[in-house]
Amino acid sequence: MIFAAFVTFIVTVVVLMILVYASGPKVVDIGRRLSRVLKTPASALEEDLAASGRLRAQNVFVSIGQLMPPPKGKKASQDQILLTRAGYRTQSAVVAIRGMRLLGAIALVVISIWTGLSSLNPAVVIIAGVLGWFLPDLWLSSRVKARQKRLRLALPDAMDLLVICVEVGLGLDQALLKVADEVESAHPELGQELHMVNLEMRVGKTRLDALRELAMRTGLDDIKVLVGILVQTDRFGTSIVDALHTFSDELRTKRRQRAEEAGAKVSVKMVPVLVFFIFPALMVVILGPAILSIMSNLLPNLK
């Protein structure tokens, strides 16, 4: 009974997650980039539909989140930083994440009661509520990591363009604006962040303060290193072009090393797949006829 109730609970949660994923937008990244460049009406309609669906879901989460008291102190600032690094900068996103926590806790508690798992052990309800409360945090952390990965992959290309712009005579501020315009179609997250840097410099922030804000918003160590390099060039009067050129070479080397590391991990990641999925099928195909032949010929003689 315990195993059946647990399996029912897991299957219900998985089915709900599949339905949520299936109802989301299904636009491929390459198609989204091409549609953004070509400005096709069909892609604009799909993006409008996806945006309207996200807006409705956000309104629901915000309405639920307003029922809870706002967090104070370190927790509030931590939520704001994580949401900013995930790409959600509005104040309503902080309220929406509270609504997601409350709704997730209630949903898993209801599922545990509906599947009968709570009747076996009352502690399951508490565990389900805690799990549902922390599921939005896990989702937010995965969004932050995915966005940081995209920014990390896009940064070497942006640095190459920045070096070219500075070498041809543009100032660093104009070069940042030019790079933001050029990379926005291929890497929209990095383009938006660089546009934010230019907007902050226009309203009166210094270049270094704007870049420090960029490092805080993204949480990337490479951007923190870039800020440190620019601070040193301003302090000691060294060449910005040489510093950016060296940093760009280092970023491209890191990207190649990350690709080599990911390729080296493939063989290790394939071991569980081979052991649990491919080898049993091969054993059935290879040894199945031999086992059937032994059962049909040898067992009757033994009797």
**pLDDT tens-digit series, residues 191-238:** 889 899 889 888 888 888 888 888 888 888 888 888 888 888 878 877
Residues 146, 139: Cα–Cα separation, whole Å: 11
Give the angle 235-241-242 at the CA atoms, nearest 5°.
Answer: 85
Question: How confident is the model over 91-113, as a mean pLDDT?
Answer: 84
**pLDDT at site 1:** 59
**pLDDT at site 34:** 57
Give the residue with greater pLDDT, 25 vs 83.
Answer: 83
State how far the alpha carbon of 15 is from the alpha carbons of 10, 111, 276, in Å: 9, 12, 23
> CB within 8 A of 16, min separation 6: which ones?
107, 111
Average pLDDT value for the chain: 79
Going 169 to 170 to 175 to 178, the CA torsion angle's sign is: negative
**pLDDT at site 4:** 62
pLDDT band at residue 27, thresholds of 50, 70 and 90?
A: very low
Per domain, the residue ranges of the chain are: 2-141, 152-256
Residues 276, 295: Cα–Cα separation, whole Å: 26
Is the pLDDT score of 132 beyond 80?
A: yes
Q: How many CB atoms lie within 10 A of CB 42?
A: 8
Question: How confident is the model over 110-119, as a mean pLDDT?
Answer: 78
Q: How many CB atoms lie within 10 A of CB 225?
A: 14
The pTM assigned to this predicted structure is 0.72
**pLDDT at site 32:** 58
CATH code at 152-256: 1.20.81
* Percent residues over pLDDT 90 in the chain: 3
Among residues 217, 180, 195, the alpha carbon closest in space to that of 88 is found at 217
State how far the alpha carbon of 69 is from the alpha carbons of 65, 98, 229, in Å: 8, 9, 43
